[in-house]
Structure 1
Amino acid sequence: MTVLDLSDPRPTLADVARVAGVSSATASRVLNGFPQVRAETRRQVEQAVRSLGYVRQRAARAGEGQRTGTVAVVMCEDGLRLFSDPFFGRIMGGINRVFTAAGVQVVVLMMPSAGQAATFRYLGGGHVDGALFVSTHARYTTALSHADLPVVSAGRPMVPDPAQCTYVDVDNRGGAEAAVRHLLAAGRRRIATVAGPKDMAPGRDRLAGYAAAISGSALVDPGLVAHGDFGQASGEHATRQLLDRRPDLDAVFAASDVMAVGVLRALRRTGRRVPDDVAVIGFDNAPVSRRTDPPLTTVSQPVEALGARAAGELLAVLDGTVRQPRRVVLGTSLVVRASA
């Protein structure tokens, strides 16, 4: 028999734990999106949340008014990329799962560079308790540093001192380095890269991983480096630039799978065979990587887990569980297929 304390009509975390048959610490781990929880335990806690109507409450701060039970997920991109790149759907799946399990309402905001002022007016207007930023560019550094509410970043933010901001990232540098070392081990020696945007941490970190692997065998040739915006068209355009400069290149590491699709298209149009003439590796392990011709070797990053853990970190900040900035880095792995 489960006995609940009804003196306060609002169910507590302890109530959720009792109904689910777990400890409060385990219930908290589930609601904070931590991955080291058995699937059955997670299901029991989420079912208890729904049956009780539990709504996550955060610790009150001095001078704070009524809490909203709502958080904002701020996508720092325009609508076109948001709806065309599968990364955003995958990360939102992880984010939404954790917030839904915690009984927290989510508002999704798109914030292109021209919309910063309006977005931060909304965030500062008492509509939400905190914000989770996704896909931050360098131009958002001031805004992130001065946001007047709890903020967590999914991805290392481009701020002068990232240690001042809680963020969850993946090992972009290590994943890129592993990809390029795989190409080197296969005998490829003229390895180019289609790097990501210079104003985003994943773009910089994946380029740094490429350079770290290459520098072990030779100096980085700037003619073998081109930049894209993580979109397919930019991957194709960058590959054409690389082929014009270095027509004898024998491998390309693309900083995203979507750009790698553009790389494959450019190589096909110029008569290069993959992997016979040019090997190709992407980054993300997006669903499209299994449908390319040939199937794409890629660096797998845990996108859904990234979103879930970032959402959990924001909940932990809001309820007072975490009071100091934290930095979480999730691992990556190489998935070898026919393209390299």
Structure 2
Amino acid sequence: MARVRKTVTIRDVADDAGVSLQTVSRVVNGGPNVRPQVRDKVRASIERLGYVPSLAAQRMSGSRSYIILAINDRERTLEDWRERRGTDWVDQMLLGGILTCNKHGYRMMVELVDTHSDHVERELGAAISALQPDGVILTPPHSENRLITQLLADRGIPFARIGSNAPGPGIPLTMGDEGAAHLATNHLIALGHRRIGMIAGPDQYSLSGWRIEGWKRAMAEHGLPTEGLLENGDFGYDSGAKAARALLDLHPKCTAIIASSDQMTLAALEVARERGLRVPEDLSLISFDNTPIVRFSQPPLTAIDQPIAETVSRAVEHLIARAEDDKGQAVIEVSAGLVERASTAPAPASGAA
């Protein structure tokens, strides 16, 4: 007959350490007025017994809920999941958030909210009332939705705004989009490319504008033109195909394209094939996101690797610190990197002129 493992309680820890229940509670919840020697003794008992404090017990011990809530866009997230597109934004968000929360005895939860909904305040308000989070992480485009940010500010809930550097309440974090686009453009220029197109994202995302600025700055630094070399998409495959066709129709001698998402870059790769262009011999491609799918395209795509996990981790750290006044806080930037693969090569002779 299998033995049922006994659940270790806070009383077991108190008895083992020879202290009161209140002392154990203060140690578990990071409370004050505990001598270092006693704190170490309690922690040793927790480790030895394998005690895991319940979320309910933590919440009862004070004003904190020990929950960090992340809000992601409902429509885009569900569309990606249903289409099984291989995007890993949510995975990376959870990786950075869950590990950092666990380190501090917190839990991370995710809610999907439609940023275009007329009921966005009601949706978010219901989630906040039910979960009572200690902090909220807003991802684009929620991070720039004033209805959402004002609701959180009015309720006095600390929040982080990823992909937003606008003035106002909340902790602003960016992933160095302007610098990343500058890096990608300079990489192509170093390979001899002179006609470099850009497929940007939708205007509702500030990061779309930042990436355009990075591309333009690198081109200007080398005296290269950008007129007619910019198209916009919506991050999706179909919009990327449309933008790539427009670019190549207007500039048939374009030898490189930077696209603002993996899906749009994969679409540009297919458009190149349709036109008999070889990648990278005739046309080099650089993508943003670096989701798993780009490693398995033919050829594998050179990509800007967005530090999503690290950025969310930094957001969690700041929220747990619970700075009382986050107004006017300096923007926290976590820089992206470039992963070079087989979709970029020296410009063909005609494109280097």
Q: Same fold (TM over 0.5)?
A: yes
Q: Give, as a single letter, the amino acid of the residue that structure 2 aligns with 1:263.
A: A
How big is the shift at 1:47?
7.2
Contact residue 179 and residue 281 of structure 1 kept, 8 A: yes
- 1:338 aligns with 342
- 1:302 aligns with 307
Deviates more, 1:278-287 or 1:135-144: 135-144
Q: Give, as a single letter, the amino acid of the residue that structure 1 aligns with 2:94.
A: M
Contact residue 137 and residue 162 of structure 2 kept, 8 A: no
How big is the shift at 1:66?
5.5
- 1:1-340 to 2 correspondence within 5 Å? 3=17, 5-8=19-22, 9-10=24-25, 11-13=28-30, 51-53=51-53, 67-78=64-75, 79-81=77-79, 83=81, 84=85, 85-112=87-114, 113-114=116-117, 115-123=119-127, 125=129, 127-129=131-133, 130-136=135-141, 140-147=145-152, 148-157=155-164, 159=166, 161=167, 164-218=169-223, 220-317=225-322, 320=323, 323-325=325-327, 326=329, 327-340=331-344
Quick one: distance in 2 between partners of 1:150 and 1:52? 27
Quick one: distance in 2 between partners of 1:48 and 1:168? 39
CA 1:71–1:243 in 2, change beyond 3 Å: closer, same or farther?
same
Contact residue 144 and residue 151 of structure 1 kept, 8 A: no
Contact residue 161 and residue 172 of structure 2 kept, 8 A: yes
Contact residue 143 and residue 149 of structure 2 kept, 8 A: no
SS in 1 for 2:160: strand
Contact residue 133 and residue 151 of structure 1 kept, 8 A: no
Deviates more, 1:130-139 or 1:283-292: 130-139
RMSD over equivalenced CA pairs, Å: 3.5
- 2:6 aligns with none
SS in 1 for 2:221: coil
Q: Give, as a single letter, the amino acid of the residue that structure 1 aligns with 2:78.
A: L
- Specify every segment of 5 or more residues in structure 2 that has no aligned partner in the other structure, as ranges: 1-15, 345-353
Q: Give, as a single letter, the amino acid of the residue that structure 2 aligns with 1:127.
A: L
How big is the shift at 1:127?
3.2
Q: Give, as a single letter, the amino acid of the residue that structure 1 aligns with 2:88.
A: P
Quick one: distance in 2 between partners of 1:302 and 1:268? 31
Percent identity of equivalent pairs: 25
How big is the shift at 1:180?
0.2
Quick one: distance in 1 between partners of 2:182 and 2:288? 11
Contact residue 70 and residue 128 of structure 1 kept, 8 A: yes
How big is the shift at 1:131?
1.6
Quick one: distance in 1 between partners of 2:276 and 2:129? 56
Count of residues in correspondence between the two structures: 308
Contact residue 296 and residue 339 of structure 1 kept, 8 A: yes
CA 1:216–1:47 in 2, change beyond 3 Å: closer, same or farther?
farther
- 1:36 aligns with none
CA 1:138–1:90 in 2, change beyond 3 Å: closer, same or farther?
closer
Contact residue 70 and residue 104 of structure 1 kept, 8 A: yes
How big is the shift at 1:230?
1.9
Contact residue 184 and residue 286 of structure 2 kept, 8 A: yes
What TM-score comes out, normalization by structure 1 length? 0.78
CA 1:154–1:96 in 2, change beyond 3 Å: closer, same or farther?
farther
Contact residue 71 and residue 128 of structure 1 kept, 8 A: no
How big is the shift at 1:228?
1.6
SS in 2 for 1:125: helix
Quick one: distance in 2 between partners of 1:49 and 1:208? 56
Structure possessing the higher relative contact order (Cα contacts under 8 Å, 6 or more residues apart):
1
Quick one: distance in 2 between partners of 1:123 and 1:144? 15
CA 1:52–1:117 in 2, change beyond 3 Å: closer, same or farther?
closer
Deviates more, 1:118-127 or 1:300-309: 118-127
Contact residue 150 and residue 314 of structure 1 kept, 8 A: no
How big is the shift at 1:195?
0.7
CA 1:248–1:106 in 2, change beyond 3 Å: closer, same or farther?
same
Quick one: distance in 2 between partners of 1:201 and 1:224? 20
What TM-score comes out, normalization by structure 2 length? 0.75
